[in-house]
Amino acid sequence: WLMTSAALVILMSIPGLALFYGGLVRTKNMLSVLMQVFVTFSLISVLWVIYGYSVAFTEGGGFFGVLDKIFLKGITVDSVAATFSKGVVVSELAYVIFQGAFAAITCGLIVGAFAERAKFAAILVFMVIWFTLSYLPMAHMVWYWAGPDAYLDAATGEAATKTAGFLFQKGALDFAGGTVVHINAAVAGLVGAIVIGKRIGYGRESMAPHSLTFTMIGASLLWFGWFGFNAGSALEASGGAALAMVNTWVATACAAMSWMLAEWMIKGKPSMLGAASGAVAGLVAITPAAGFVGVVGAIVIGLLAGVICLWGVNGLKRLIGADDSLDVFGVHGVGGMLGAILTGVFADPSLGGTGVYDYVLNKVGDYDMTAQVISQLWGVGTVIVWSGVVSLVAFKLVDMVIGLRVPEEEEREGLDITSHGESAYHY
């Protein structure tokens, strides 16, 4: 199941995310977006194997692992990784590719925020810096721990927790990446959109999506692949994985409906773009909660995500005033924060959630909603500050060395021809 899930997560990036984003830009920039997502995926996959996995998933400090497993050193066909059940392990190589696929799509998400105007070389250099200094420490902080078998009694449990990542120790729950993936990427994208500046003609010329057909196909592939993303994060083909799968299905459907209905009421017509955007908002919001909340919790999270992310791409976007081309922050940032905080509410067993498992007592522990929501806020706050600072420094560095933005005449002509010497369409 984990290997299948890894393949599904790869499908989310290429072709899912590439087509979703590609359809949203103008014809002259279609290939540039496909190229940015495709090559970012390839670049991060290579870096993951070289040093990324080691930095994120070895025992080090609270923020970074160590370099003991560079080039996957010491990982063999017999190596195993812990799951969330005592005495149950998976192949470490399967875990490597599953987590690597997460890293790759996270970096791919960022490019939508400054689509149609950034230099290709600048994007790639930025990705190397951001992946190293923002993605890897966030993945380590939230997801690295010694595994359930280290929790034999109170003393060993306490010792094991001290070796875990900073936010894991804070008790922050993130089933499949609300903080690590979505808020992390969204903050980077927003910083990029602000630093790079608005597209030429923004607010004056039409920048309508050139192919909502591709966007719908991309959104559908994202939804399909997301079952691997969320249900795969259970690391076992278990009842917990099935719960995550049902939640991912129903929350997404609810968000597609609530975005569409809200837009229908406001604008008078229900749009394909609205339904697809709502679905992605629902997927984002349920991600941190998928394995922790009950079905009713998932329905509430989905319904809220559709409406709140609709505000995120309209009202909030106007307040911020940045040209976030494909609404990365409005959907992934706002949806990720909503889902991360509501995880703390709906994980409560009294509201149908699973609670938090106590591996020392081998049963679900007593649930304190207030304490859990505070833990969730630690996660949200940490990722906003961490990604924000890393992104700002990285963009400024890249701008000084190679420049972030293409010249005005190249932007007007379109990046397909000027950056890549190709056209998506020949009429």
pLDDT in tens, 232-287: 999 999 999 999 999 999 999 999 999 999 999 999 999 999 999 999 999 999 99
Closest CA to 151 of 92, 82, 91: 82
The DSSP bridge partners found for residue 357 are 364
Backbone angles phi, psi at 82, to 5 degrees: -70, 155
Tokens found for residue 137? 């420490």
Report pLDDT for 330: 97
pLDDT at 113: 97
Tokens of 37: 């997502």
Q: Please report how the helices 120-130 and 369-401 are oriented relative to each other, as an axis angle in degrees rounded to 10.
A: 140
Looking at residue 425, what is its pLDDT?
A: 95
Whole-number pLDDT of residue 77? 98
How confident is the model at residue 216, as a pLDDT?
A: 98
Per-residue model confidence as pLDDT tens digits over 402-424: 999 999 999 999 999 999 999 99
With a CB cutoff of 8 Å and minimum separation 6, the contacts of 267 are: none
* Three-class secondary structure assignment of 262-275: HHHHHHCCCCHHHH
Residues of the chain with pLDDT under 50: none
pLDDT of residue 372: 97
pLDDT of residue 427: 78
Q: How far apart are CA 367 and CA 207, in angstroms?
A: 48
d(CA 267, CA 265): 6
